[in-house]
A and B are shown apart, each in its own frame.
Chain A
Amino acid sequence: MSEELFTNLAIFVLSLLVGFEVMSKIPATLQTPMMSGANAIHGVVVVGAFVIAAEANSWVFYILAFFGAVFAAINVAGGYTVTDRMLGMFDRKPKAKSEGDDSK
């Protein structure tokens, strides 16, 4: 096993453990936004889209790089936008702040 592979494997396993740990019981209210937020995080695959586009050198690879870029960009841009929209709704609590602040 190369040193590089071992390092990557160690990072992978430890990140899994962090993921299990950081995700203890969360309120049902936040489960859908959380899923959407996690969905946005795997949009990091967009970094990979850059890496392959930088290596592409023939039409097959350009086509693959194009689809990689489109897919990853949808995931990352859409993911963060929709998560923020959902969570933004919990922010504006009109509460009983008398009249005149329901401008939105």
Chain B
Amino acid sequence: MEKTIRRFWPVFVLPTFAAFLIGFVWPFLQGLYLSFCKFTTINKAQWNGLKNYIYTLTESEFLHSFWFTALFTVVSTICINVAAFAIALALTRAIKGTNIFRSVFFMPNLIGGIVLGYIWNILLNCVLTLLGQPLLQLSAPYGFLGLIILMCWQQIGYMMIIYIAGLQSIPNDYLEAARIDGATDRQILWRIKIPNVMPSITICLFLSLTNGFKLFDQNLALTGGDPNHLTEMLALNIYQTFYGRAGAVWKGYGQAKAVIFCVLVIAISVFQLRATRSKEVQQ
């Protein structure tokens, strides 16, 4: 059977593979090469050695956006997961209207980042105006806070769905056995529920960490990096380096930043998956 299938590879694999080459492999390799070059268009690339990287790692704006992104990612990951888990716990109790609540909390995920950004831009600016505070675009702390609120609003519903699925898959026998043994609610939560939803926690942490780190649309629409690039996250910083500046050197810097960004994202993913996988229990 395997041999017969193998003969049909042009039908089964070729379309996807060709698109994959055009849409991923080729741009990826070319991007990797260009990060060592000085260029304005792809055809006019000059080898530039490590200069792009050396410049990038000393640029204060890039370093600032790195720390800003890191702080944002940590804070938003904690807020989203704690809130999503709490709501999931509440919704797995038998209370009225569970389905409606679940639908409502999930709804923002279907709306795109740009639209979400503008919705919250209008809302938060109105709140700030009424409070007599500077607008989002004029104050970095409020910009940061706004991004966190926006991210929580969007992502809590998504993570909640995953946690609910995890909580519902815990065999009822475990919970009953624990209750018969006289375990308190708190003990059940920490000793049974949390260890058993570890796979869900792994995937939620992974998703919220990478989503936070790669955030672009929401950042662009909510603050646009203002004031003075202070709320610019890595993805937006890279974008601005490519398209926001004139000059022969910037595209190379942008590509070098993109490679560093890519390496960071991969490192976070690998590290995080390893760290939590080791805490999972077998059912």
Query: Are A and B subunits of one complex?
Result: no
Write the residues of chain B forming the contact surface with A, with a CB cutoff of 8 angstroms: none
Write the residues of chain A forming the contact surface with B, with a CB cutoff of 8 angstroms: none
